[in-house]
Amino acid sequence: MIHQISKDIYLHVLQSQETRVFFQPIVSISKCCSIGHESLLRASYKEESISPELLFSYSAKIDEVARLDSLCQNLALSDYHKSGQDTLLFINMETSLLEYYLDHADEIVLQIDTLQIERNKIVIEINEKRATNDALLLELVNLYRHYGFVIALDDVGAGYSNLNRIVLARPDIIKIDRSVICEVQFNFYKQEVIKAISDLGQKIGSITIAEGVETEQEVVTCVECGVDWFQGYFFSPAIPSDAVNALSFKEQCSRISELYQKKFINKMRQYTNIIDIRKKIFEQLESIALTCQADCLYESFTDLLCCNSELECIYLINDLGIQVTDTLFQPESYFRNRTMFSPMKKGDNHVSKSFFNYAIHHPDKIYISDKYISLATGNFCQTFSLMIHPQNASAFILCADFKMY
pLDDT in tens, 47-66: 889 998 998 889 989 998 88
Neighbours of 89 (CB within 10 A): 23
Whether the CB-CB separation of 170 and 150 falls below 8 Å is answered with: no
Question: What phi and psi, each to the nearest 5 degrees, are found at residue 150?
Answer: -90, 140
- Gap between the Cα atoms of 400 and 390, Å rounded: 18
- Gap between the Cα atoms of 23 and 35, Å rounded: 12
Confidence of residue 9 (pLDDT cuts 50, 70, 90): confident
- Gap between the Cα atoms of 219 and 182, Å rounded: 10
- Gap between the Cα atoms of 87 and 74, Å rounded: 18
Confidence of residue 161 (pLDDT cuts 50, 70, 90): low
pLDDT for the residue numbered 130 = 64
Task: Indicate whether 243 pLDDT > 80.
Answer: yes
Return the beta strands (E) in 319-379 as ranges: 328-329, 367-368, 372-373
Question: What phi and psi, each to the nearest 5 degrees, are found at residue 230?
Answer: -140, 150
- Gap between the Cα atoms of 1 and 183, Å rounded: 28
Instruction: Please state at what angle helix 188-204 crosses helix 216-224, rounded to 10 degrees.
Output: 50
- Gap between the Cα atoms of 384 and 311, Å rounded: 11
Domains and CATH numbers, the chain: 7-248 (3.20.20.450), 265-403 (3.30.450.20)
Residue 29, C-beta contacts closer than 8 angstroms, at least 6 positions apart = 219, 223, 228, 229, 230, 253, 256, 257
Q: What is the mean pLDDT of residues 206-215?
A: 97
pTM score, whole prediction: 0.88
Confidence of residue 159 (pLDDT cuts 50, 70, 90): low
Smallest CA-to-CA distance from 156 within 196, 188, 184 is with: 196
Identify how many contiguous H helices and E strands the chain contains and give both numbers. 13, 15
Whether the CB-CB separation of 42 and 237 falls below 8 Å is answered with: no
pLDDT in tens, 286-320: 999 998 887 788 899 999 999 999 999 999 999 99
Q: What is the mean pLDDT of residues 108-131?
A: 89
pLDDT in tens, 317-333: 999 999 999 999 998 88
Whether the CB-CB separation of 127 and 99 falls below 8 Å is answered with: no
pLDDT mean across residues, the chain: 92
pLDDT in tens, 62-108: 998 888 888 899 999 999 999 888 899 999 988 788 889 999 999 99
